């Protein structure tokens, strides 16, 4: 098995156990932190454990290795294919092929984000939809942003963490500020912090997000496996 197999389960049972709620062979992040959940094995017992964990009407999000198969008592809310990409380099590549920054990048100041920025972070992720982001998601790692005229217009940070690996997540830019290299700058800043700790960056991206995948390839990421992310709601059996 690869270290990143069943990564949510591993995160919740190792480096991020402080954020975990568990029952049987299932666990999830505290809902205010993230809707991500997992089971130790994909089985009837796994789904039963999840059901006891979330309760009737409860919702969660899973990462699966194969497409979701309908389960009694569960309603599928959404599903999509999602490449998992892992950094294969040893050091960060320059911002572009000439090692130069664009004028927008050169004039952008990266700031660290935290509790005081939580509402703005949720608003930006709700608009751009890089993935679920709750009022306590920022507690999972270090997040960085770029502001323009006092407004948060781009951000990126750390989410899942297992021994030796940290996920780059919530990479997003306000639609009025795209094309300025902000996503590249912020992704590289997060990567730099991860690499400085002797860990390997990895990330997840929607299969249809061609522009983002191209950026990640340029930065040294390669697809390890195709996963499937599904949103589920527990209903009466």
35, 114: one domain: no
Residue 237 has a pLDDT of: 74
Average pLDDT over residues 97-118: 73
119, 217: one domain: yes
Kindly indicate the confidence band of residue 104, based on its pLDDT and cuts at 50, 70 and 90.
Answer: low
Residue 95 has a pLDDT of: 45
**Long-range Cβ contact pairs of 102-110 (< 8 A, separation 24 or more):** 102/180, 102/181, 104/180, 104/181, 104/182, 105/180, 105/181, 105/182, 105/184, 105/185, 108/146, 108/180, 108/181, 108/182, 108/185, 109/146, 109/147, 110/144, 110/145, 110/146, 110/185, 110/186, 110/189
DSSP string covering 213-228? HHHHHHTTEEEEEEEE
26, 114: one domain: no
Average pLDDT over residues 93-118: 69
Domain containing residue 108: 84-225
| CATH number where 65 lies | 3.40.630.30
30, 134: one domain: no
Asked if the structure places residue 2 within a domain, the reply is no
The number of helix segments (H) and strand segments (E) in the chain equals 6, 11
168, 129: one domain: yes
Asked if the structure places residue 105 within a domain, the reply is yes
Residue 89 has a pLDDT of: 87
List pLDDT tens digits, range 67-101. 999 999 999 999 999 999 999 987 775 444 334 55
209, 104: one domain: yes
pLDDT averaged over every residue in the chain: 93
Residue 107 has a pLDDT of: 62
Asked if the structure places residue 88 within a domain, the reply is yes
Residue 137 clears pLDDT 70, i.e. is over it: yes
Asked if the structure places residue 1 within a domain, the reply is no
143, 190: one domain: yes
102, 165: one domain: yes
Asked if the structure places residue 141 within a domain, the reply is yes
Asked if the structure places residue 183 within a domain, the reply is yes
Record the tokens describing residue 50, joined without a space: 């999840």
Average pLDDT over residues 143-149: 96
90, 178: one domain: yes
Nearest to 198 by CA among 76, 90, 67, 55: 90
58, 100: one domain: no
List pLDDT tens digits, range 8-61. 999 999 999 999 999 999 999 999 999 999 999 999 999 999 999 999 999 999
Average pLDDT over residues 162-177: 97
72, 102: one domain: no
Nearest to 82 by CA among 7, 26, 10, 24: 7
- Report the distance separating Cα 32 and Cα 103, nearest Å: 38
Number of domains in the chain: 2
66, 115: one domain: no
């Amino acid at each position: 098995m690869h270290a990143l197999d069943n990564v949510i389960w591993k995160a919740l049972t190792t480096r991020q156990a402080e954020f975990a709620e568990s029952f049987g062979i299932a666990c999830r992040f505290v809902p205010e932190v993230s809707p991500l959940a997992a089971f130790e094995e994909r089985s009837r017992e796994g789904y039963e454990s999840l059901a006891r964990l979330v309760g009737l009407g409860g919702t969660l999000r899973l990462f699966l290795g194969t497409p979701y198969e309908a389960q009694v008592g569960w309603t599928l809310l959404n599903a999509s294919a999602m490449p998992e990409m892992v950094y294969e380099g040893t050091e960060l590549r320059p911002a572009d092929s000439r090692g130069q920054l664009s004028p927008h990048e050169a004039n952008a100041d990266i700031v660290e984000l935290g509790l005081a920025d939580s509402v703005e972070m949720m608003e930006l992720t709700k608009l751009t939809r890089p993935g679920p982001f709750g009022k306590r998601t920022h507690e999972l790692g270090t997040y960085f942003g770029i502001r323009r005229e006092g407004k948060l217009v781009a951000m990126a940070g750390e989410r899942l963490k297992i021994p030796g690996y940290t996920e780059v997540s919530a990479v997003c830019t306000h639609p009025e500020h795209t094309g300025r290299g902000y996503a590249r700058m912020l992704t590289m800043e997060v990567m730099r912090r991860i690499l400085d700790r002797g860990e390997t960056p990895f990330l997840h991206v929607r299969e249809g997000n061609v522009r983002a995948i191209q950026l990640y390839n340029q930065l040294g990421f390669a697809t390890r496996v195709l996963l499937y992310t599904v949103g589920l709601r527990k209903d009466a059996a």
